[in-house]
Structure 1
Amino acid sequence: MIEFSHVGVTYDGAARPVLSDVDLVVEEGELCLVAGRTGVGKSTFLGAINGLVPHFTGGRLTGRVRVAGLDTETHPPRELASVVGVVGQDPLAGFVTDTVEEELAYGMEQLAVAPDVMRKRVEETLDLLGVADLRHRPLRTLSGGQQQRVAIGSVLTAHPRVLVLDEPTSALDPTAAEEVLAAITRLVHDLGTTVVVAEHRMERVAQYADRVLYLPGDGSVVSGPPAEVFAFADVAPPIVELGRLAGWSPLPLSVRDARRTAGPLRARLAPFSRPSDPGSASGETVVRASAVQVRYGDVLAVRGVDLRLGRGEVVALMGRNGSGKSSLLWALQGSGPRSGGTVDVLGEDPARLKPRAARTRVGLVPQSPADLLYLETVDAECAQADQESGTAPGTARSLLDRLVSGVDGALNPRDLSEGQRLALVLAVQLAAAPPALLLDEPTRGLDYPAKRHFASVLASLASEGHAILLATHDVEFVATAAHRVVVMAEGEVVADGPTAEVVVSSPAFAPQVAKILAPAEWLTVDEVAKALGT
């Protein structure tokens, strides 16, 4: 179905090719997981499948890419649209109509599909993806999981033989992610669709994959069965890392298979107990929210929330898409709407302060960090942050070097990797030394090693006295970084307690290690390794 023959891709001005002499074949009806560190070329690989590379991105492609027998060199993306469907990271950014039904029909209109065929395909797709009850809903009123399914449906109506997905679950809560993946696997099993998916949260996808396409970073692509490739890959889900630690062979890819193998490991861990979360519940209160409400028209997004953040705490704010997490963050920061309640940050309400004064109290990094970056170079962003914060020149740049070393100051911020952009926005916010730091989905686009480094950065900031609140769906990151977890549902706080106490009891929010080693409350592979002295 997909054939790469000695494929190489080199961008203008690049010192070396992103892809080099790639030879592989993906068969019809396979689900392939594309794995690799951030910046190794996964997006380039995906773009080559439908001809976006090089027809849209530029650069030079050598060798041949064929999809369903069509050569991408002679068939540009518009001619491959009926064969290859592509769904990007942000579904909402790709929508061009207003309602679900209109969006499902739009692609077929561009392909001049007959009206009676269009109607039939729309009905089939609504049923296939379980969104028939949403057909007349405005797209912007849907939850993240619903939007993702509609985005997939909008390309499926063209009956593509290949589906390319770039981080399809990055913005989804665990339950919504399971729903989207269930729809994807149904396409593979029932319709024979070939699916190629790149996903940094591989713990969600690995168990469904027939094949892993691993990019080690030298331009090559290693293709093979998941257990064989993950045995040596430098990025792997926690279940694989635990299997490596325990010496399991073959490596399990599902929690069910791992639990069947984990008996001896549980016995070895029985004499040990997990260290308690080092929260600072008795420390100085930095943020105190009381009865906070946020209303958008007739919708009450946040319903009387009470929340306390102590100095030195890292608190995770979790909950399904649409539960009110982002609305609460913006209300705490002061620039978002607040229809009721009070927010106190060390004696001041940020909403009543001028912007410069508010930045010295609380900083917020939104879901898309690039939204805060508007200058032409990294150095200009850092200099502007120093000026706005009234700090000594070089403060923001030194913070950036501490977070991620070696970032070229002459680069445009939009040319940075996701991890580098996140570090730059953190440096800009931290230049004002705010005692409270709010982060909205900060791990999107970060691979496992990058998230480990980011967790150490948060631990360091907490040790310096910052209070950190991060809204996230990344249960594995929460297990690594958070002292405490607050769960929201329908605008209300429904759980608040130490990380292990909250997540272990939740089927949706429990990390893989906790599920495998239950009833013991181990959360991460690192905790297990330290207990065993390995």
Structure 2
Amino acid sequence: MSDLVGFVFQDPEAQFVVDDVAGELAFSMEARAYPRSLMLERVQEVAGLLGIEQLLERRISTLSGGQRQRVAVAAALALQPSLLILDEPTSQLDPMAADELLMALVRLNRERGLSVFLSEHRIERVTAYVHRVVYMSGAGQPPLDGRPRQVLAEVPLAPPVVRLGRQLGWQPLPLTVEEARPFARNLPLPERDGHESGPGPVRLRAEGVSYAYSGLQALRGVDLELAQGEIVAIQGHNGSGKTTLLKTLLGLLRPEKGRVLLDGQDVSRLDLHEIIARVGYVPQSPGSLLFEDTVLAELEFTRRSHGLPAKDCLPLLERLGLAQYANTYPRDLSQGERQRVALAAILVAEPELLLLDEPTLGLDYLQKERLVVLLKELRGEGKGILIATHDTELVASCADRTIILQEGRVLDSGAPGRVMLRQAGYASQVSRLFEDGEHIAVEDVIP
């Protein structure tokens, strides 16, 4: 079967066998006793196809989540299967890497007849490439199967441009920004309102922070501030230093140069328990936080471990759409559900600041809307929230500021709409549609 079908899990780490990238790409061919010359040729071919040639000598443990995702896809392609099945293949990829992956799959489909079946929540990334959409409606209902325009006209989960088109009656329904531009050209736009109050005092500050992994420079003189009552996004290519920056801010990694200040105190001189009492951190892989037998027990454990009194945790689970899973084993849940459980397990400790690494990983549009509402409520309560994300639509929906990292340096920063004008690769669909630096989410166009 594996000669015909390639499969990439939602969590690529679950399928890695070898420690280094080149070895992982060659493993399935070695198991079938392919000639060495053919293996070397195929490794170079799939590495070039996925843009990971520079990673071949790297250990997988040193790669970012998105880099690992591309390695997993390349490994699945090494045997040249006839069918490739991908579970959330772009979820950990930056926008440019996602486009490159999808265009590579289109090329393989056209030139070699490769059939691709993918499960994807970020539909805005794939609508321009797919021939059919199968919508799983759940609740025992049969799936809706058809051409993208036909299916997306009927389902509740739709990309921003499609949502605009449906609400404004655009026909034929646009699936891409390019298709929507003729309709948007003369559309009157409302003035955009920011959230009412500005941020409070700065709580967390990075000053000239640099960090390297075994000589590989991950951060280079990064300056950053997070104030009370604001949402700040960190964006950047895979491997640009986003996760490293979060870990450095939390004190899990010690800067080689520069310093991190939490309420004016050098984080390197604080005990980790002092830090996590004020700062909550949800990593990219939520499974590392989950080890109790039930979702409710996870939250109760967090309260106890922080020395906090017992509290009814069900209201928080309801807020995150998790109440029905209160007595469920966390590892039986989907990636997106585990992500929300991990967030709940951090929020229940009532931190003043939140560091979130890819919080929309595995979330559909409706779950993401609920998360945005929650983040805005937490901002209104005075919490400072720092989000590392590849999700440009999340940034457009709730961020007050965004910071673009490139090779460990701050490339750009400012209000999301203005940064999206300057950095087109990080622009949301609505931002690309109107290009005015103000209207960047559906809610900015249709209040």
Give the TM-score band, short-chain normalised: over 0.9
DSSP 3-state at the match of 2:323: coil
**C-alpha separation between the residues in 1 aligned to 2:418 and 2:54?**
37
Query: C-alpha deviations, 1:46-105, integer Å up to 9, x for none?
Result: xxxxxxxxxxxxxxxxxxxxxxxxxxxxxxxxxx11111101223344222244443333
Alignment match, 1:280 = 198
- In the alignment, which of 103, 111, 123 is matched to residue 202 of structure 1? 123
Look up the equivalent residue of 2:391 and give its one-letter code: D
- In the alignment, which of 175, 178, 181 is matched to residue 259 of structure 1? 181
The 5-angstrom pairing of residues 290-301 of structure 1 reads 290-301=207-218
State the Cα RMSD in Å: 2.3
1:109 shift after superposition: 3.0
Alpha-carbon spacing, 1:298–1:125, altered in 2? closer, same or farther (3 Å): closer
- In the alignment, which of 205, 211, 215 is matched to residue 132 of structure 2? 211
Contact 1:89 1:168 in 2 (8 A): yes
Alignment match, 2:166 = 244
- In the alignment, which of 87, 98, 101 is matched to residue 180 of structure 1? 101
Alignment match, 2:440 = 523
1:517 shift after superposition: 1.8
Q: Does 1:370 align with 2:292?
A: no
1:144 shift after superposition: 5.1
Alignment match, 1:157 = 78
Q: Does 1:512 align with 2:429?
A: yes
The 5-angstrom pairing of residues 79-158 of structure 1 reads 80-113=1-34, 117-131=38-52, 135-141=56-62, 146-158=67-79
DSSP 3-state at the match of 1:508: helix
1:522 shift after superposition: 0.9
1:127 shift after superposition: 4.8
Query: C-alpha deviations, 1:274-323, integer Å up to 9, x for none?
Result: 22465734x22221222222232312322222221111101111111111
Look up the equivalent residue of 1:171 and give its one-letter code: Q
DSSP 3-state at the match of 1:294: strand
Shift >6 Å, 4+ stretches: none
Stretch deviating more after TM superposition (462-471 or 132-141): 132-141
1:123 shift after superposition: 5.0
Query: C-alpha deviations, 1:106-137, integer Å up to 9, x for none?
Result: 21233444556545544544454455565545
Q: Does 1:233 align with 2:151?
A: no
Alignment match, 1:61 = none
- In the alignment, which of 392, 395, 415 is matched to residue 309 of structure 2? 392
Alignment match, 1:360 = 277
1:349 shift after superposition: 3.8
Stretch deviating more after TM superposition (288-297 or 125-134): 125-134
Look up the equivalent residue of 2:265 and give its one-letter code: E
Alignment match, 1:4 = none
DSSP 3-state at the match of 2:204: strand
Contact 2:417 2:437 in 1 (8 A): no
Contact 1:92 1:140 in 2 (8 A): no
**C-alpha separation between the residues in 2 aligned to 1:495 and 1:416?**
37
**C-alpha separation between the residues in 2 aligned to 1:145 and 1:421?**
19
Alpha-carbon spacing, 1:474–1:188, altered in 2? closer, same or farther (3 Å): same
Alignment match, 1:42 = none
1:481 shift after superposition: 1.3
Structure 2 unaligned regions, length at least 5: none
Contact 2:6 2:83 in 1 (8 A): yes
DSSP 3-state at the match of 1:274: coil
**C-alpha separation between the residues in 1 aligned to 2:104 and 2:183?**
29
Look up the equivalent residue of 1:274 and give its one-letter code: R
Q: Does 1:383 align with 2:300?
A: yes
1:491 shift after superposition: 1.6
1:419 shift after superposition: 4.1
**C-alpha separation between the residues in 2 aligned to 1:172 and 1:107?**
24
Structure 1 unaligned regions, length at least 5: 1-79
Alpha-carbon spacing, 1:425–1:150, altered in 2? closer, same or farther (3 Å): closer
1:139 shift after superposition: 4.0
Alpha-carbon spacing, 1:392–1:407, altered in 2? closer, same or farther (3 Å): farther
**C-alpha separation between the residues in 2 aligned to 1:333 and 1:115?**
46
The 5-angstrom pairing of residues 470-481 of structure 1 reads 470-481=387-398
1:396 shift after superposition: 4.4
Alignment match, 2:229 = 312
**C-alpha separation between the residues in 2 aligned to 1:323 and 1:288?**
19
Say which one has the larger Rg.
Answer: 1
Q: Does 1:223 align with 2:141?
A: no
DSSP 3-state at the match of 2:133: strand
DSSP 3-state at the match of 2:17: coil
Alpha-carbon spacing, 1:430–1:313, altered in 2? closer, same or farther (3 Å): same
Q: TM-score scaled to structure 1, two decimals?
A: 0.78
Alpha-carbon spacing, 1:278–1:182, altered in 2? closer, same or farther (3 Å): farther
Contact 2:296 2:313 in 1 (8 A): no
Contact 2:240 2:405 in 1 (8 A): yes
Alignment match, 1:331 = 248
1:138 shift after superposition: 4.0
Alpha-carbon spacing, 1:131–1:343, altered in 2? closer, same or farther (3 Å): closer
Contact 1:278 1:483 in 2 (8 A): no
**C-alpha separation between the residues in 1 aligned to 2:439 and 2:185?**
14
- In the alignment, which of 322, 341, 344 is matched to residue 424 of structure 1? 341
Query: C-alpha deviations, 1:356-385, integer Å up to 9, x for none?
Result: 332221111101122111222223222221
1:255 shift after superposition: 1.7
Contact 1:292 1:303 in 2 (8 A): yes
Contact 1:286 1:311 in 2 (8 A): yes
**C-alpha separation between the residues in 1 aligned to 2:377 and 2:63?**
38
Q: Does 1:467 align with 2:384?
A: yes
The 5-angstrom pairing of residues 20-35 of structure 1 reads none
Alignment match, 1:443 = 360
**C-alpha separation between the residues in 2 aligned to 1:492 and 1:115?**
40
Query: C-alpha deviations, 1:375-415, integer Å up to 9, x for none?
Result: 22223222221112222212544433333352343221212
DSSP 3-state at the match of 1:152: helix
